[in-house]
Amino acid sequence: MEPRDAAADILRAVEDSGNHYRDSIPMIASENILSPLVRKACNSDLHGRYAEGLPGKRYYQGCDDFDTIEEIGIKSAMRVFNCNFANIQSTSGTVSNIGALKSLAKPGDKITAVSTADGGHISHARMGAVGVRGLNLITYPWNEERMEPDIDASLSMIRENEPNLVLFGQSVFLFPTPLEELADAAHECGSKVMYDGAHVMGLIAGGMFQDPLREGADVLTGSSHKTFPGPQGGFLLSNSDDPSFHKRLNNSIFPGVCSSYHLHHVAGKAVALAEFEQFGSDYASDIVRNAKALGEALSSEGFDVLAEERGFTESHQVLTRHGAPDSGAGMMAADRLEKCGIITNMNMLPGDTKAMSGPSGLRLGVPELTRVGMGVQEMTEIARYFSRALKSEENHSSIKSDISEFKSEFQTVSYCFEPGPAYP
């Protein structure tokens, strides 16, 4: 292939990807879209710049304007998350986690976390950041009915093992973690407590989930692009008032794990924080209302929605089961849904053991749908599309064209200062 053609093909696929999402019902729980002002900050000259250090203390010249940006962003993060330390430099949730693990533990230390099979993130696993830091992982006993750590068994496990660090938070995250009791037990053993809110940062900031920094977490990490609707990146937050701990946290990001920390994304994050201050609590409550409505509607259509007795969800996610454990029914459902214009991901559920071919479930998220203006009524319509896609023999192309028409009414990003095209 000629290099010129390669570039053209790439740009065509970039455009096609945007069009694909524009015409579909995107339900990946970790995804979101950018507001026009955030997009403008991201797509700027800052893309090519460096600003190692902190505002006012840089290794390079030329950073005055970026100092302004980062200073405003830090202050705004401290207000949005109600804390007295914020680092907004990290380039992803995983990078924030590596930074936090570097600040809070040393190689050989013991850490407790949720296992990936129970919904923990790969960065909490041996094959991810926890392993990179050389920590010895012990996973919590799990309560499958309640989809949370088994409190009594986890309390005993923490007291018995006296880990150096106890880590909470999941990628499959329907309900708040019963944090206070567990954090108290951890502190009694001299452990530090870290809460990874990657998925739920927007819900936490919007007052709709839980408030980890007031429930015992020493450090809160998270992504800036899941329920928090900013560009891809991370947060590292704490309510400690110890300046030396602040310094340790800052150092864990730069020079710890970043040199360039993607200034255009930091500028976008700072704009997203300003927009969140204005619109975030409405956004967070609309997300949770929609997720509950989706759980209800799918259940009414006859789908097996998990955690019915707990009201299906208290977050932005809903889990559905499509067949027996290890049947791969979730994989097949995700495939059929995509052909019909609904983008989801298969997910392991309790009992599943094979991550690639066996998942029996789907994890569904509503942050993007909420952000383009969908409400409870649309959740009901989406559940009907699920029925047509998964419970009827209807040809996928007719469903797909109906979905594309349905979606055409939802093309504007809201909860931001200048609502505009969601898929420009």
Ligand X SMILES: *Cc1c(COP(=O)(O)O)cnc(C)c1O
**Positions that interact with ligand X (CB under 6 A):** 30, 92-94, 97, 121, 123, 169-171, 196, 198-199, 223, 234
Residue number, 61 or 259, with CB nearest to ligand X: 259
The least CB distance from residue 17 to ligand X, in Å, is: 18
Between 171 and 320, CB nearer to ligand X: 171
Q: Closest distance between ligand X and the C-beta of residue 67, in Å?
A: 25
Cβ atoms within 10 Å of 161's Cβ, excluding its own: 16
Closer Cβ to ligand X, 170 or 320, answer by number: 170
Q: How far is the CB of 222 from ligand X (least distance, A)?
A: 7
Tokens of 194: 């870290």
User: Cα(110)–Cα(124) distance, rounded to whole angstroms?
Assistant: 12
Please name every residue paired with 318 in a beta bridge, in sequence order, or none if there are none: 364
Q: Smaller CB distance to ligand X: residue 94 or 164?
A: 94
Angle of helix 376-391 versus helix 329-340 axis, rounded to 10 = 110
CA distance 138 to 239: 26
**Residue 210 near residue 174 (C-beta atoms within 8 A):** no
**What is the edge-to-edge ordering of all strands in the sheet holding 317-321?**
304-305, 317-321, 361-365, 345-347
- Residue 390 beta carbon to ligand X: minimum distance, rounded to whole angstroms: 26
Q: Which is nearer to ligand X, 46 or 257 (CB)?
A: 257
Helix axes 376-391, 396-407, angle to 10 degrees: 170
Least Å distance, CB 32 to ligand X, is 12
CA 357 to chain centre: 24
Least separation in angstroms between residue 73's CB and ligand X is 17
Residue number, 63 or 249, with CB nearest to ligand X? 249
Type of residue found at 72: I
> And the tokens for 8?
């053209």
Shortest separation between residue 367's beta carbon and ligand X, angstroms: 13
CB nearer to ligand X: give 123 or 250: 123
Residue closer to ligand X by CB (options 316, 407) is: 316
Written as six digits, the tokens of 216 are 């015992």
Using the structure block, give the residue that is written with the tokens 């649309």: 378
Is the Cβ of residue 170 or residue 238 nearer to ligand X in the bound state?
Answer: 170
The minimum distance between CB 91 and ligand X, in angstroms, equals 8
Smallest distance from the beta carbon of 170 to ligand X, in angstroms? Answer: 6
Query: Which residues are registered as beta bridge partners of 364?
Result: 318
Q: Which of 374, 373, 372, 352 is nearest to 363 (CA)?
A: 352
In angstroms, give the least distance from the CB of 167 to ligand X: 10
- Determine contact, residues 385/399, Cβ cutoff 8 Å: yes
Q: Where are the beta strands (DSSP E) in 292-385?
A: 304-305, 317-321, 342-343, 345-347, 361-365
Residue 120 or 328: the one with the smaller Cβ distance to ligand X is: 120
Rounded CA-CA distance 364/294 in Å is 9
**Size of the chain in residues:** 424
Hey, what amino acid is at 392?
S
Q: Which two tokens stand for residue 66?
A: 């970026």
Q: For ligand X, which residue has the nearest CB?
A: 93
Q: How many CB atoms lie within 10 A of CB 182?
A: 23
d(CA 320, CA 312): 10
